[in-house]
């Protein structure tokens, strides 16, 4: 296999040229039917970076997409969201199927200029999710989102007037709000997978805080926990909040306080020694966090057991 190269696609027009789908009707927004995209004539895996947002709804696509360390295929109907600057690796489609379908909505950030979505789009956490956390759609949900996408396309194919941008923006916001709703539904309907993730969180933190290397490796981080579960930090925190009311960082702090209380109540170690064993470089940082969580200093907590 040849060495992969990184391709930066700066404009929607440039993407359309690479995909062989013709010149876009609007320079800043475009809806592409996946059945019209031509298979790229290349045998290597290309790293690709977009300077625009990509919202994809795909089914029966023969290629594979690499996002971070994960690989995902699109044999099922799924939706994914990619923000500008994120790196993807795209394999050549091996089995081009006649029934491949879906849509690719491309939106340049300049289209949001002067609208609430210019900043508001950052509130949609799923643009930070890895591809293995794509949105799995029911048939009814898929039809709802396809309808909105087609309305967007219909609007920018009309003669552009002073209402065009605001109407399309409202449609995009509706699309994102529905996606947000469906993601929340996914947290519930994929209960078995999600409960397994919760068990893995507990197991990882128990093992980590019982490790003799805690003082060397330092406190566990949200990124470390997310990597262990093969999830993105944002998705993991949203998942944990949905089921427990606590973010990933709060789960780490809860486990930390549990171990700290155990050591304060059952050992004669000094506060500094306990802080060191729990991975803190400075005992003051440990004491400050302990008091913020318990409304007591470590010594005040220990005194309650004497």
Chain segment 246-304, per-residue pLDDT in tens: 889 999 999 899 889 988 988 889 999 999 888 888 899 999 999 999 998 999 988 87
pLDDT band for position 133 (50/70/90)?
A: confident
* C-beta neighbour count of 245 within 10 angstroms: 8
Please tell me the predicted confidence (pLDDT) of residue 68: 46
Boundaries of every domain in the chain: 6-189, 192-303
Mean pLDDT (the chain) is: 82
pLDDT tens digits, 153-196: 999 988 888 888 999 999 999 999 999 998 888 877 665 566 67
Say which residue the tokens 């003082």 belong to.
Answer: 215
* CATH fold of 192-303: Arc Repressor Mutant, subunit A (1.10.10)
Mean of the pLDDT values across residues 36-59? 75
Q: What are 52-63's pLDDT values in tens digits?
A: 999 988 776 555
- 73 — pLDDT class (breaks 50, 70, 90): very low
Spell out the CATH class of 6-189: mainly beta
Residues paired with residue 82 on neighbouring β-strands, in sequence order: 54
* pTM of the model as a whole: 0.65
Residue 81 has pLDDT above 60, yes or no: yes
Predicted pLDDT at 43: 53
User: Where does residue 92 fall: left (phi above 0), alpha (psi -120 to 50 degrees), or beta otherwise?
Assistant: beta
Does the fold of domain 192-303 match that of domain 6-189?
A: no
């Amino acid at each position: 296999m040849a060495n992969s190269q990184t391709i930066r696609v700066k404009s929607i027009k440039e993407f359309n040229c690479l995909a062989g789908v013709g010149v876009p009707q609007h320079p800043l927004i475009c809806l592409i039917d996946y059945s019209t995209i031509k298979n790229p004539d290349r045998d290597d895996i290309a790293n690709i970076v977009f300077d625009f947002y990509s919202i994809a709804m795909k089914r029966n696509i023969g290629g594979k997409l690499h996002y971070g360390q994960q690989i995902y295929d699109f044999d099922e109907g799924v939706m994914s969201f990619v923000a500008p600057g994120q790196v993807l690796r795209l394999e050549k489609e091996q089995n081009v199927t006649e029934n491949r379908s879906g849509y690719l909505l491309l939106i340049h950030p300049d289209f949001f200029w002067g609208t609430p979505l210019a900043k508001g789009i950052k509130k949609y956490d799923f643009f930070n999710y890895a591809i293995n956390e794509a949105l799995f759609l029911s048939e009814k949900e898929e039809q709802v989102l396809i309808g909105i996408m087609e309305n967007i396309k219909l609007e920018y194919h009309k003669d552009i007037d002073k209402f065009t941008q605001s109407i399309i923006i409202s449609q995009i916001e509706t699309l994102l709000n529905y996606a947000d709703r469906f993601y929340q539904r996914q947290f519930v309907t994929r209960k078995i997978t999600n409960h397994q993730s919760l068990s893995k969180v507990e197991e990882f933190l128990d093992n980590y805080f019982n490790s003799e290397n805690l003082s060397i490796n330092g406190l566990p981080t949200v990124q470390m926990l997310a990597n262990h579960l093969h999830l993105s930090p944002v998705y993991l925190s949203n998942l944990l909040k949905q089921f427990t009311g606590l973010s990933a960082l709060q789960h780490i702090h809860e486990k930390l306080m549990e171990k700290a209380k155990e050591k304060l109540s059952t050992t004669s170690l000094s506060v500094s020694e306990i802080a060191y064993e729990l991975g803190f470089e400075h005992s003051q940082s440990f004491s400050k966090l302990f008091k913020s969580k318990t409304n007591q200093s470590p010594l005040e907590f220990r005194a309650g057991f004497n």
